[in-house]
Amino acid sequence: MERVRGPRSARRALGRLLEAVLASRAEANAVFDILAVLQSEDPEEIQDAVRACSRLFGALLERGELFVGQLPPEETVMAGSQGATRKYKVWMRHRYQSCCNRLAELLAHPSFQVKELALSTLMKFVQLEGAHPLEKPKWEGSYLFPRQLFKAVVDGLLSLEEDCSLLLSQFCQYLEHDDVRYHAMQAAADTVARVANAHPEVPLTFWNNVFTLLSAVSLPRQESDIANFYVQHAELSDKWKVTHLKEHRKAFQLMWLGFLKHKLPLSLYKKVLVIMHESILPHLAQPSLMIDFLTRAYDIGGAISLLALNGLFILIHEHNLEYPDFYRKLYGLDPSVFHVKYRARFFHLADLFLSSPICPPYLGAAFAKRLARLALTAPPELLMALPFICKPAAPTTRPGRVLGHRPRGPELDADPYDPDEEDPAQSRALESSLWELQALQRHYHPEVSKAASVINQALSVPEASIAPLLELTAFEIFERDLKKKGPEAVPLEFIPAQGLLGRREDLCAQHFTLS
Amino acid sequence: MGKARATGARPKAPGAPAGARGGRARPNPNPFEVKVNRQKFQVLGRKTRHDVGLPGVSRARAIQKRTQTLLKEYKERDKSNVFIDKRFGEYNSHISAEEKMMRRFALEQQRQHEKRNIYNLNEDEELTHFGQSLADIEKLNDIVDSDSDTEERGVLSAELTAAHFGGGAFPHEKPSQQPGPEAARPRSHKELIEELIAKSKQEKRERQAQREDALELTEKLDRDWREIQSLLSRRAPQAQSRHQEKPQPDAYDRAVRELGFEMKAQPSDRMKTEEELAKEEQERLRRLEAERVRRMLGTSEDQDSKGPAHVSADDLNDGFVLDKDDRRLLSYKDGKMNVQEAQSGEASNGGDEEEEEDEEEEEEEGEEDAEDSGGSDSHSDLECGVESEEESEQPEQEPRPPPRGRSAGRGQDARDAARTELPYTFALPSPLEDLKSLLAERPEKPVEEQLLVVERIQKCHHPLAVGNKAKLEKLFGFLLEYVGELATEDPPDLRVIDKLVVPLYNLCQMFPESASESVRFVLRDAMHEMEGTIEAKGRAAFPGLDVLIYLKIAGMLFPTSDLWHPVVTPALVCLSQLLTKCPVLSLPDVVKGLFVCCVFLDYVSLSQRFIPELVNFLLGILYIATPNQPGPGYTLVHPFRPLGRNSELLVVSDEGDAATWRRRSLSLHWASARHAQTETEANHTRLSCLAVCLALVKRCVLLYGALPAFHDITRPLRALLAQHLAGSSHPHELQELCRSALADMEAQERRYQPLVCERSKPVPLKLFTPRLVKVLEFGRKQGSTKEEQERKRLIHKHRREFKGAVREIRKDNQFLARMQLSEIMERDAERKRKVKQLFNSLAEQEGEWKALKRKKFKK
């Protein structure tokens, strides 16, 4: 009957109930009224109720009026002959439990305000429960964290049905705290394993949610950085796992490996691989375990294999991984790499390998030849950097590198290089020359033809960073050409125009008509 | 020897102080005062500055200086009153002495100028002349004769002063003051005076004579003139009278005379015959072609005209050259770059000038052409006076048949009709809407009429008149925009565009700068739009027909074969973007893509440059014309996908349509086709597209046959064509085309010449010229870098100065101590003296007293 009078009076009524419950234990039954409002349909009312619950149970937690220890079933306690206080505590603990369950359900509420409020309330409970634990410590000074409650939160966040990225971004602010992060990693790993086992076909949204959460986790670099705890403790103990970076790393690794071992959608592969070398690999306890995932990703092909190779390269380079097929796989990339977004990485890698002094000549030659072949189909923005990558394989300064300079060589009637051979060693690239770059010297864009003419120079050009060239897009080239000012007047066509399609011998006039 | 020198020096000694103070020439001092610093070793070339010292002299100087400064300070140490010179700027070292005097003078004048009493009007500034009050001068009525005054003023020799002012008082001192042999015989004062008087008198006489001469000459001149004047005056009336007697000239005479006085027509150049004109034109084209080829190659002439490059002896031969040399390569591609290259050689210099002139000529011709384009009715435009003036100035242009007059004259009839209703003058439409309304106010307006309107606008705004240039420059932009709007209409009005190309070309010839600017502007617009959609969606649709037409027009207005061109190079990038970024989704897209390919190939038709994107695109088009079965030997690149909705866009399955197909040109209207075609039409279009594509492939084979990597470039095309041909149900003509394209590819010879690096120039022998280091100071400071040396020198200087300063201070202290001691001594001596005096007087008193006493006792 009170609800009819509008939200304001309803709020006032809630406040009154709250006061009553907090004031005397006799009024405890009013909690049911508050919890009833939680089931309401109206988001406004739910928010009011959530706030009321937050205040109510927050106060109760602080006062210690909730039962501590393994919670017995409600009926047995009520029926039993224990003291009234104990009965009250057990009963109230049950109400708290049902309130938390309802809040976890509210995380999937359509209204974002409700979700946000439920999340912050739950996290407040986590904090208070951590400070006033509801379970008995096993030994003096053992580490206690409301794992059950927190797991419910994480479960609610990693929804199967809807995209929770907004809520997750809210949640990320808690991840700054080391204990929350540690337990979130554990909870996420559990949830992923549970969901993947339960469902044969896991929906894409779940994976996206998991990835959003996982990619938000970033470990500190140093042991000493772990001091920021969400649950306040009087003193930190060395025995607690949560205080060691090593344990964090283990949890991190478990979480990622547990996530990546499942069959992920392709779009996620790309996202994971993009952040792989910066945010995942450095924090793993054993980075070489990633090799399974990376080889699997390589087999997918296209841009994904390119990114996978980048990850592999870091493993080889920094973590001493033995991976004999690496060059072969890099060599085997298909020409579409010229057109994908992450090609700059590939060319960085290629540049790195080819300019290395210990790169064997046959490999350098094969790569140079392969790149040159690819260049025959590449757009101009790439061609500006390409000759500078091919060039290190070509100079005459080192024996065996003869792609650019082979005096007194016999005239051939076919290119000895075999483009279809998968093994760079068998491709006979060393017997060939870079005729492709010679063709590019006649490219229509002046800068490309200028860049391609580096192979004509006997002396190596001073090594310049090709990074800015790799980042160049066609539109930037266009802008640059527009801005470039000629020193003198604009030259003009001297053959007078006759019509739109030009003179009779022009291709346009041959193949097109105006009518 | 020393003694001899000493004795020789002695007689001059009395004069020494004067000489010593005067300058560097120091007389031999007392040998006992000279301290010789003996050198242990003689070092050749070392300048010794301190081999001889004069300790006595320098000490005396130091002491003197100290007495003047330090002692003064010391003595005034307890005094509180100071003497301050309050004259203006006395202590200001920033202003020079002259300026100081000026300022002081100004201040003084100012102070005088301030009226002491505002009621005293007469108290004015005193005017002076040469420092003397003008009032005083006026008072002195009898000034000395002006002649003699001017003569002697300012001449103030010593002699004169001596003679005038009391020099006579010491007649005998003069010889002593005047050294020299002529001073041997002393002259008396009287003689001197007499001499002076005689001199001045003589001068006076001479002047008198001169003046008389001048007077005489003037008089003579006057006389002569009077004679001549009388002659003249006699003649004038005669002439008048004769004129009156003469009969009035008749009309004929007058006309003849007028004709005689009229300015004679200058003989003009002979009119050129047809052959000569043709030859000239040919010559011009040949020259322009040569110019074009040079720009295309970018660098060739530079290398030809340049002799072997100068290599400095210090050249390390590491390929490092100054920036300017590097840049020349690029900047050279532009038209008149060679003007800057003029220093490279005389021969090229002459040629360059010619070229420049020619270009100017060309421009002029372009303008004339533009004027003449309306030639046949140019007289009807009498309203624009500028035009007629122009024509009268160049009469030889008249008879020459206007080159474009004929072409424009095709629609003579229509034009005649139009002329009756069209106004003859048009104000230049300022916004585009005005132009549109002008050109297309009546939809049925024929093309010729629109052209005529444009022509007349052009004529009414001849660029020679003030302000018209800017207006015409704008006209180009308007026309370009108008063309774009026509192209976006449905259906596009291509015939009008076709006609409008000619005025566009003419305007472009007139104003290359602004034309290129507007073309670049539209290109930038189009690219911006495309980039925006790519950013948003990851891909972009083919742009409308207007962009394609802009690109085509840009290729016609500017030389496409240049290595670098401010308009053409961006246009090329734009074309490449169209081919790589825009997926082919429909039949119009195919037509557009093929048109882009044609434009692209037209661009490079002369320079024969390689376009990877084009080959890719043709491959893609061929692929979508085959049933999907990815075969070996080729891979599709970006805009095309091996599988998908549009991967069989050009496949014609209907046998009947294939049979009825006739090969014909594609219509540009299909590019913007929004109207539905029937299935048969669409099939025919597909087959036509395929035919065009194959023709383009053949063209590519022709273009790139010479490239060494030709077979690698065409490998995918060949593989696809072979496959295409194998399972094709296409009409016979298409199959024939395929076959011939394949045959062309196979026919290209495979020649793989191994690459050889450019022979680098032989390294010149290094000339080991000694490295010259400027020796700034001797000693162990050598052999380090310049900065180090500088630093060391500074440290050394500082130390020396420091030592010197310490020494000075020490000496100052010694001096002061000495002074104090002498003061004390003096004081003591004084006191002793006084004590002695007292004792003396006391003793005297005592003595006196005792004597008195003794006297008393004696008494």
Kindly state the helix (H) or strand (E) to which residue A347 belongs, with its residue range. Answer: helix A343-354
- Examine the pLDDT at A193 and tell me if it is beyond 60: yes
Tell me, yes or no, whether A512 lies in a domain: no
Q: Is the separation of the CB atoms in A158 and A206 below 8 Å? A: yes
In DSSP notation, A215-280 reads HH----SSGGG----SS--SS--TT-GGG-HHHHHHHHHHHHHHHHTS---HHHHHHHHHHIIIII
Chain B contacts of A407, Cβ < 8 Å? 754, 756
Rounded average pLDDT over B206-224:
93
Tell me, yes or no, whether A122 lies in a domain: yes
Question: Do B615 and A501 make contact, defined as CB atoms within 8 angstroms?
Answer: no
Taking the C-alpha atoms of residue B252 and residue B593, their distance in angstroms, rounded to an integer, is: 79
- What does the mean pLDDT of chain B come to? 72
Q: Is the separation of the CB atoms in A341 and B539 below 8 Å? A: no
Residue A412 in tokens: 């051939």
The pLDDT value given to residue B356: 42
Which percentage of chain A shows pLDDT scores above 90? 0
Domain ranges of chain B: 422-510, 621-671+678-751
- Most B CBs within 10 Å, among A406, A507, A513, to test the B interface: A507
The pLDDT value given to residue B263: 64
Q: How confident is the model at residue B673 (pLDDT cuts 50, 70, 90)?
A: low
Q: Is the separation of the CB atoms in A219 and A176 below 8 Å? A: no
Based on the domain organization, do A201 and A247 belong to the same domain? yes
- B164 or B171: whose pLDDT is higher? B164
Q: How far is A97 from chain B (nearest CA, A)?
A: 48
Based on the domain organization, do A82 and A170 belong to the same domain? no
- B260 or B604: whose pLDDT is higher? B604
Among B603, B637, B760, select the one facing A459 at the smallest CB separation: B760
Q: How confident is the model at residue B536 (pLDDT cuts 50, 70, 90)?
A: confident
Amino acid at B493: D
Q: How far is A480 from chain B (nearest CA, A)?
A: 9
Taking the C-alpha atoms of residue B575 and residue B600, their distance in angstroms, rounded to an integer, is: 7
Tell me, yes or no, whether A126 lies in a domain: yes
Question: Do A377 and B612 make contact, defined as CB atoms within 8 angstroms?
Answer: yes
Taking the C-alpha atoms of residue B332 and residue B340, their distance in angstroms, rounded to an integer, is: 9
Residue of B nearest to A484 (CA): B566
Q: Give the Cα-Cα-Cα angle A185, A190, A196 (nearest 5 degrees).
A: 125
Helix axes of B732-747 and B679-704: crossing angle, nearest 10 degrees = 10
The pLDDT value given to residue B491: 73
Based on the domain organization, do A117 and A243 belong to the same domain? no
- B363 or A228: whose pLDDT is higher? A228
Residue of B nearest to A409 (CA): B754
Tell me, yes or no, whether A363 lies in a domain: yes
Rounded average pLDDT over A479-505:
79
Q: How confident is the model at residue B718 (pLDDT cuts 50, 70, 90)?
A: confident
Among B573, B667, B760, select the one facing A458 at the smallest CB separation: B760
Residue A515 in tokens: 């009518």
Chain B contacts of A499, Cβ < 8 Å? 498-499, 501-502
Rounded average pLDDT over B195-217:
93
Of A136, A161, A189, which closes a domain? A136
Rounded average pLDDT over B54-78:
89
Chain A contacts of B515, Cβ < 8 Å? 490
- Examine the pLDDT at A329 and tell me if it is beyond 50: yes
CB-based burial, B42-58: b 16+ in 10 Å, e otherwise: eeeeeeeeeeeeeeeee
- What does the mean pLDDT of chain A come to? 77
- Examine the pLDDT at A3 and tell me if it is beyond 70: no
Amino acid at B626: T
Task: Count interface pairs A-B at CB distance under 8 A.
Answer: 280
Spell out the residues 6+ positions from residue B235 whose beta carbon is closer than 8 angstroms to its own: none
The pLDDT value given to residue A421: 79
Residue of A nearest to B608 (CA): A442
Kindly state the helix (H) or strand (E) to which residue B523 belongs, with its residue range. Answer: helix B512-537
The pLDDT value given to residue B800: 95
Question: Do A511 and B665 make contact, defined as CB atoms within 8 angstroms?
Answer: yes
In angstroms, the Cα distances linking A446 to B339, B564, B566 are 22, 6, 12
Based on the domain organization, do A116 and A191 belong to the same domain? no
Taking the C-alpha atoms of residue B348 and residue B339, their distance in angstroms, rounded to an integer, is: 9
Strand B52-53, strand B35-36: pairing: antiparallel
Q: B424 at the A interface (CB within 8 A)? A: no
Q: What is the ipTM of this complex?
A: 0.70
- Examine the pLDDT at A429 and tell me if it is beyond 60: yes
Q: Which of B715, B648, B609 minimizes the C-alpha distance to A335?
A: B715
Sign for the CA dihedral angle at A261, A264, A267, A271 comes to negative
Based on the domain organization, do A126 and A196 belong to the same domain? no
Question: Do B339 and A478 make contact, defined as CB atoms within 8 angstroms?
Answer: no
The pLDDT value given to residue B630: 63
- Examine the pLDDT at B736 and tell me if it is beyond 90: no
Chain B contacts of A439, Cβ < 8 Å? 610, 704, 707-710, 713
Among A378, A478, A497, select the one facing B574 at the smallest CB separation: A478
Q: How far is A501 from chain B (nearest CA, A)?
A: 8
Chain B contacts of A482, Cβ < 8 Å? 520, 523-524, 566, 570
Rounded average pLDDT over B425-433:
60
- B279 or A132: whose pLDDT is higher? B279
The region of weakest confidence among A250-254, B492-496, B839-843 is B492-496
Tell me, yes or no, whether A12 lies in a domain: yes
- Examine the pLDDT at B436 and tell me if it is beyond 70: no
Spell out the residues 6+ positions from residue B97 whose beta carbon is closer than 8 angstroms to its own: none
Q: What are phi and psi of B752, to 5 degrees?
A: -115, 95
In angstroms, the Cα distances linking B654 to B677, B684, B688, B730 are 15, 10, 15, 10
Q: Best-predicted range by mean pLDDT among B41-55, B416-430, B743-757?
A: B41-55
Q: How confident is the model at residue B159 (pLDDT cuts 50, 70, 90)?
A: low
Tell me, yes or no, whether A295 lies in a domain: no
Residue of A nearest to B550 (CA): A500
Q: What confidence tens digit (pLDDT) does each residue in A50-94 have?
A: 888 888 888 887 777 777 777 777 777 777 666 777 777 778 888
Chain A contacts of B496, Cβ < 8 Å? none
Chain B contacts of A380, Cβ < 8 Å? 573, 576
Taking the C-alpha atoms of residue A449 and residue A472, their distance in angstroms, rounded to an integer, is: 17
Based on the domain organization, do A30 and A119 belong to the same domain? yes
Rounded average pLDDT over A4-13:
67
Please tell me the number of Cα atoms within 13 Å of A432 on its side-chain side. 29
B residues 506-525 lying closer than 8 A (beta carbon) to A:
508-509, 512-513, 515-516, 520, 523-524
Q: How far is B506 from chain A (nearest CA, A)?
A: 8
Based on the domain organization, do A80 and A169 belong to the same domain? no
Based on the domain organization, do A124 and A155 belong to the same domain? no
The pLDDT value given to residue A65: 72
The pLDDT value given to residue B380: 39
Q: B299 at the A interface (CB within 8 A)? A: no
- Examine the pLDDT at B207 and tell me if it is beyond 80: yes
The pLDDT value given to residue B47: 81
Based on the domain organization, do A75 and A204 belong to the same domain? no
Tell me, yes or no, whether A475 lies in a domain: yes
Three-class SS state of A412: strand
Tell me, yes or no, whether A25 lies in a domain: yes
In angstroms, the Cα distances linking B496 to A53, A379, B147, B449, B499 are 78, 35, 95, 10, 5
Taking the C-alpha atoms of residue B601 and residue B551, their distance in angstroms, rounded to an integer, is: 12
- Examine the pLDDT at A411 and tell me if it is beyond 80: no
Q: B853 at the A interface (CB within 8 A)? A: no
Q: What are phi and psi of B35, to 5 degrees?
A: -110, 125
Chain A contacts of B404, Cβ < 8 Å? 496
Question: Do A514 and B498 make contact, defined as CB atoms within 8 angstroms?
Answer: yes
Q: Is the separation of the CB atoms in A294 and A329 below 8 Å? A: no
Q: How far is B548 from chain A (nearest CA, A)?
A: 11
Question: Do B331 and A373 make contact, defined as CB atoms within 8 angstroms?
Answer: no
> Residue A169 sits in which domain range?
141-263
Three-state secondary structure readout of B775-827? CCCCCCCCCCCHHHHHHHHHHHHHHHHHHHHHHHHHHHHHHHHHHHHHHHHHH
The pLDDT value given to residue B362: 42
Task: Count Cβ atoms below 10 Å from residue B59 Cβ, excluding itself.
Answer: 12
B residues 732-791 lying closer than 8 A (beta carbon) to A:
750-760
User: In total, how many domains does chain A have?
Assistant: 3
Question: Do A478 and B669 make contact, defined as CB atoms within 8 angstroms?
Answer: no
Among B598, B609, B711, select the one facing A444 at the smallest CB separation: B609
